[in-house]
């Protein structure tokens, strides 16, 4: 969520994930994904900066909750995943195949 100011001076909080486009003409007009249009006092660069700052804070919050990389690698090794490139399952045990008698 980012805080913006409507043209009349009233502050508002907007879910930044709903912004489809931001245009400067000369006021900043935000078009939301549902087609609604909002005009705000902040210029487009400020809107973009606030969206990026919000997403940065969100990602930092998520990263703090993740276990350390050593723990992640240990869990990955326990689940037999290859993390050297693409994630792939290690060879699975043979399945019971009625034709081969196994």
Beta strands in the chain (DSSP E): 2-5, 11-14, 19-24, 28-32, 37-40, 81-82, 88-89
Once rounded to an integer, what is the mean pLDDT over residues 57-79? Answer: 70
Tokens, residue 74: 């240990």
Predicted confidence (pLDDT) at residue 71 exceeds the cutoff of 80: no
The confidence score (pLDDT) of residue 6 equals 96
Q: Is the pTM of this model over 0.85?
A: no
Beta bridge partners of 3: 13
pLDDT confidence tier of residue 92, bands split at 50, 70 and 90:
very low
Predicted confidence (pLDDT) at residue 3 exceeds the cutoff of 90: yes
Measure the CA–CA gap between 57 and 1, rounded to whole angstroms: 11
Q: Which residue has the tokens 């249009």?
A: 37
Widest pairwise Cα distance in the chain:
78
Q: What is the pLDDT of residues 11-46, one digit of tens each?
A: 999 999 999 999 998 899 999 999 999 999 999 999
Predicted confidence (pLDDT) at residue 100 exceeds the cutoff of 80: no
């Amino acid at each position: 969520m980012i805080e913006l100011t409507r043209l009349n001076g009233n502050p508002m909080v907007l879910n930044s994930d709903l912004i489809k486009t931001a245009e400067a003409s000369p006021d900043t007009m935000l078009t939301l994904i549902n087609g609604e249009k909002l005009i705000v006092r902040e210029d487009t660069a400020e809107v973009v900066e606030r969206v990026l700052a919000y997403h940065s804070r969100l990602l930092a919050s998520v990263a703090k909750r993740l276990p350390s990389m050593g723990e992640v690698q240990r869990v990955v090794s326990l689940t037999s995943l290859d993390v050297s490139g693409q994630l792939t399952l290690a060879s699975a045990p043979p399945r019971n195949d009625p034709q081969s008698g196994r």
